Structure formats: C-alpha cells, structure tokens
Amino acid sequence: MKNKFIDTHCHALWDFDDGVKSKDEALALLRCAHSTGIATLFVTPHKIIEGMYDPTKQEIEEKLSDLKKLSEEHELPLELKSACEFRINEEAIKAIVERRFVCYQDTDWLLIEFTRRTIESRIVQDAIYELDRMGIKLLIAHPERYFDNEKQAVDTCRKWQSWGCHFQINRTSLLGIHGERADRISWRLVSEGLAHIVASDAHQGEGSRECRLDDVYGMIARRFEQKTADQLCIINPNKLKNNQSLSNIEIKKAWWRR
C-alpha cells in the first residue's frame, strides 16, 4: 500500500502535553500511522498561553527532532512536521500580537481551538480578526465538540466561515468514540460542507485515539463518495501542507443512499 494520508492534528510528542506519555508510546503511534497509510504527520501540541501547556516554538522543534530520530531509528519513513494547537482564551490576544503561536511548518496556516465556554464570547471574534489581519489562515480544530446541538453548530460555523475560517473534524467524532452528540454534529457538519479536513487528533499509541485515518476514510466514502473522502483526508490536507487555499467540499451521497 502506498501511503497517502496527511494527518494535520496529533499529539505525538511524548511527555509534552496530554498526548502520548512515553517514548515507547510515541513509537507505537508512529508505527500505527505508517502501517495504516499515513505519509505525513503534523505534530500539534497544545499551546495554552499562561496555561498548563505553553511550549515555545524552539521547544516544539527540539522535541520534534527527537521524534524524527525515533522514526529513523526504527525505519519508519514518515514525514514529520511541526505545528501547534493554539487555544483562544483571555490571554491569547496579546500572544497573537507578539506572534507567540506556531503555524503549520512552512505555511501561513494555524490550528486553533476554543472551549465551550468561550465560543460565544467577543474573545473569539477579536482573535480571528487579529489573526486574519496578520495574514494567518485559520483551521478550527474539532468544532463538533463545542456545541449543544446540530443547529447551534451549523449556525455558528457558518458565521465563522464568513469570517474566513475553515474546519477540521476529528476521526474519533465521526466514529462515535466521543459520544452521540459529537457523532451527530460531526456528520452534520460534513454533510453541510462545513468540514475541510479530517484528522486523527491522536493522543495514544494504541486504542481508540490512535493515529490512523484509513477507517474513517472508508466510512466517509461509503456514506458519500470516494471523492469526498479524498478531499477530506488527502487533497485538502495536501493543500494545507503546500500553503494553498482549501477547497470547499460539495457533498453528494453515495448513489445507494440517495
């Protein structure tokens, strides 16, 4: 099998945030990624300004270097690249002005996350405005986790989309691992064209939150069509990697579901 997937969200740096806890677990994550068809992996440790996890760009790059050495030692031909998952909170605006965030390596794309408490606050609007003003292209991590119901999710994501944002859905949400609400909302966002990338958001070497995309790729292809699965798991992630604009996705159900 020729590896083809690009995973834009994972926590593979051991003992660095709430992701993998050891070198052995990091190795298990890399092995799973490679064996299930992932070619490129962006590591996206949490960056929460003045919070529990607030690594510098240098610290991320140094730890990524250790991960690359581990991959090379075990002959796992993965392309490993740096990024972060930047939390938008009360302290974020000052950090944005000071550019204390880590874009996807060699791009102007930034992965941002919110909390359920902040999604309706002015903080979100101010942060998006400031980042857009700086020329940063925004990918919002797992929007399916922020809302109480599908209508709230669709309405708010459409507003964020009008502000220039794009959306990354978690594999685990589409597989139902995070419960019924996240499952319903994630599929609704995909069906409404409010998803641009599907990523693993892997936190484990093995188990429900392991680093793979082949299973959800197959599920998307069955529910809609292979073109949709390609766009979400391969084409748009590759565009992000190359610092290009992401394509909007027009959803068509597979013919036997029409």
Q: How confident is the model at residue 254 (pLDDT cuts 50, 70, 90)?
A: low
Q: What does the domain layout of the chain look like in residue ranges?
A: 5-257
Task: Give the per-residue pLDDT at 251.
Answer: 82
d(Cα 67, Cα 211) in Å, to the nearest integer? Answer: 15
Task: Give the per-residue pLDDT at 2.
Answer: 78
Where are the extended beta strands (E) located within 44-194?
Answer: 46-47, 79-82, 85-87, 109-113, 137-141, 166-170
Residue with the two structure tokens 């996240």:
182
For residue range 86-117, list pLDDT tens digits in order.
999 999 999 999 999 999 999 999 999 999 99
Check: CB of residue 118 under 8 Å from CB of residue 89.
yes
Strand partners, 87: 113
Q: Report strand pairing: 85-87 vs 197-199.
A: unpaired
Task: Give the per-residue pLDDT at 3.
Answer: 86
CATH architecture of 5-257: Alpha-Beta Barrel (3.20)
In this structure, which amino acid lies at residue 85? Answer: E
- What's the rounded mean pLDDT across residues 136-162? 98
**Radius of gyration for the chain, computed over Cα atoms and rounded to the nearest angstrom:** 17
Residue with the two structure tokens 């960056």:
47
> Looking at the predicted structure, is the pLDDT value of residue 168 above 50?
yes
For residue range 2-61, list pLDDT tens digits in order.
789 999 999 999 999 999 999 999 999 999 999 999 999 999 999 999 999 999 999 999
d(Cα 128, Cα 96) in Å, to the nearest integer? Answer: 10
The predicted model scores a pTM of: 0.96
Check: CB of residue 79 under 8 Å from CB of residue 105.
no
d(Cα 44, Cα 13) in Å, to the nearest integer? Answer: 9
> Looking at the predicted structure, is the pLDDT value of residue 253 above 70?
no
Express as a percent the part of the chain with pLDDT over 90: 94
Residues listed for the chain: 258
Task: Give the per-residue pLDDT at 1.
Answer: 53
SS3 (DSSP) at 189:
helix
For residue range 191-240, list pLDDT tens digits in order.
999 999 999 999 999 999 999 999 999 999 999 999 999 999 999 999 99
Give the pair of three-digit tokens for residue 84: 């972060």
Q: Angle 57-73/23-35 helices, nearest 10 degrees?
A: 70
Check: CB of residue 46 under 8 Å from CB of residue 87.
yes
d(Cα 159, Cα 99) in Å, to the nearest integer? Answer: 25
> Looking at the predicted structure, is the pLDDT value of residue 137 above 80?
yes
> Looking at the predicted structure, is the pLDDT value of residue 256 above 70?
no
> Looking at the predicted structure, is the pLDDT value of residue 252 above 80?
no
DSSP label of 202: B
Check: CB of residue 35 under 8 Å from CB of residue 79.
no
